[in-house]
Amino acid sequence: MIDLILTFLNQIDILINENYFLTFIIYFIFCLLFFLLSLPGGVFVNLASGFFFGFYIGFIINIFSVVIGSTIFYLLIKKYLSKYYIKYLDKYLVKLNKILKKSTIEYLILIRFAFGVPLFIQNAFLATLEITTIKFIVSTAIGFTPYFLLFSYLGDKFSNLIEIKKFSLSN
């Protein structure tokens, strides 16, 4: 089973090396749609970015795709759905918006630092608040940067394990 997985990963690596720009674009669009839909399993997508494209390019893919995808999701929720559930949350949101007006960006970054809270929940929650799109984008970029640096780095280091698996004593 491990050999099958390693063969599959090796085939993907060959495909990327032969068609780097095309696979970069396809993977970026995949990540963008993944984060736009706020699907679970983002850690694996982030690790795969570093694994297949290296630390720097993997990080760029991760951060741009999550910022763009989350912003589109945020704007769609804010425009179309927030009016439906704001009436249920209105008494809580008034208090929360008063607190956030003092130092909005810091609180938004702390929300993004909350590891384990699904992206869907974070984006939907932030869409109910009275914040600007620029503050949303900045807090998303700053808040996710430490995680994405770590995941891109780990993905890049995991790719080295395949090189170790290919090594044999005869080499």
The tokens for 21 are: 């720009």
**pLDDT value, residue 109:** 83
Q: What pLDDT, on the 0 to 100 scale, is given for residue 87?
A: 65
State phi, psi for 101 to the nearest 5 degrees. -65, -25
pLDDT at 166: 58
Please tell me the distance from the alpha carbon of residue 101 to that of residue 105, in angstroms, as a whole number. Answer: 9
The DSSP secondary structure of 19-32, one letter per residue, reads SHHHHHHHHHHHHH
State the 10-residue block means of pLDDT for the chain, 171 residues long. Answer: 76 88 94 91 92 94 95 90 67 63 74 83 83 90 94 90 60 53
Rounded to a whole number of angstroms, the CA Rg of the chain reads 19
